[in-house]
Structure 1
Amino acid sequence: MAESATLSNPKSNTALSGERADLLTQLAAARRFLRFTTRDLSDEQAASRPTHSELCLGGLIKHVTAVERGWADFILGGKSLMKDFDDMTEEDFAQRADEFRMLPGETLSGILAAYEEVAARTDDMVATLPDLNSTRPLPAAPWFQDTHWSVRRALLHIVAETAQHAGHADIIREAIDGAKSMG
């Protein structure tokens, strides 16, 4: 049987082990790969779209930041902090689209700092939540087939979303200048 990681949580000055340490270790690895794709890039490069996709590296990190913040809010406050899909406005959809691009005045360092802030909040939340099994009702959306998610499931979604976009970022970075994050 594989052993779980043990991590130190500096905020609570406690050691984490087992499932919580495993969740944070996996999330840290995905975050590290995502951030690594931006090493040594200018703001212009981070905002560039070198593939047929609309995605850019700065925008991917903004999106992952927003997703992580949103699901952490969901864990702490429930679905009241998220809109049902049918209640979303054109402004909501425009704001979501802006998550995927760097807007005038945004810098890569600012985007990374915001990501670090959200990541620290999530890490502390994972370390201190009383129960990963508690469930929350999900907002109504065509992509949800469940009506409730556990805290654990929401955390796993954050890990999956981060890892998925780290892969996207690796492709974009390679298209910018040939640098690879993995392999």
Structure 2
Amino acid sequence: MTTPNESRPTPAPTTGERAELLQTLVKHRGFLRHTVRGLTDEQAARRTTASELCLGGLIRHVTLVEERWARFAVGGAAAMGTPDPDWQAQFRMADGETLAGLLDEYDRVARHTDELVATLPSLDQDHPLPEAPWFEPGARWSVRRVLLHLIAETAQHAGHADIIREALDGAKTMG
């Protein structure tokens, strides 16, 4: 059996807090990747619960979220770009998308994030959050807080993926 971290190399060597944050993010990315192992594109696009979520859509979503928050870490809210008004579309596989292509893009974004964390001058660098009803007005997030958010987001969706996969074919990531 492959372990969740075998699918991609660990980030560039870092130490201390940065290493611990990256190791945790890599672990949860690995769980998510492990959950989709061996699936066809059709299986990855299939909804297996009452939710709109599918496994390929979850990979797509965490990739987009990680990419946007990495841009925020460097350039603030303006660097995040405008979110797609059809935000639910990011939870589905688009016509012509493949699971392999989504995973390749996820790896590209992950490598960029890992390098960014390893090279930013400080995890304390912060920016005002974009205006949104779910953010406190005037709040700011540091790079550290962004990383904690990415870890939580990835872990939460890895759990969703595990449920979807088990409903699809009985396979379980954990257990």
Identify which of 3, 28, 31 aligns with 2:29.
31
- TM-score for both structures, normalised by structure 2: 0.90
Match of residue 108 from structure 2: 117
Unaligned runs of 5+ in 2: 1-9
1:50 aligns with 2:48: yes
The Cα offsets for residues 85-114 of structure 1, whole Å up to 9 and x where unpaired, read as xxx7xxx321x2211001110000000000
- Runs of 4+ aligned residues of structure 1 deviating over 3 Å after TM superposition are none
What is aligned with 1:157?
Answer: 149
The normalised TM-score by structure 1 is: 0.86
Q: CA-to-partner distance for each residue in 1:28-65, whole Å, 9 max, x for gaps?
A: 11000001111110000000001110000000000000
Indicate conservation of the 8 Å contact 1:83/1:139, yes or no. Answer: no
1:153 partner amino acid: R
Which residue type is aligned with residue 72 of structure 1? A
Asked whether the 8 Å contact 1:72–1:122 carries over to 2, the reply is yes
5+ residue gaps in structure 1? Answer: 1-6, 10-14
- Which has more radius of gyration? 1
- Higher strand proportion (structure 1 or 2): 1
Paired residues in the alignment total 165
> What do the CA deviations read for 1:103-130 (whole angstroms, capped 9, x no partner)?
1100000000000000000000011010
Q: Partners in 2 of 1:162 and 1:137 — Cα distance?
A: 23
* Residue 82 of structure 1: how far off its partner (Å): 3.4
**Superposed displacement of residue 8, structure 1:** 6.3
1:104 equivalenced with 2:95 (yes/no): yes
Q: CA deviation at 1:83?
A: 6.0
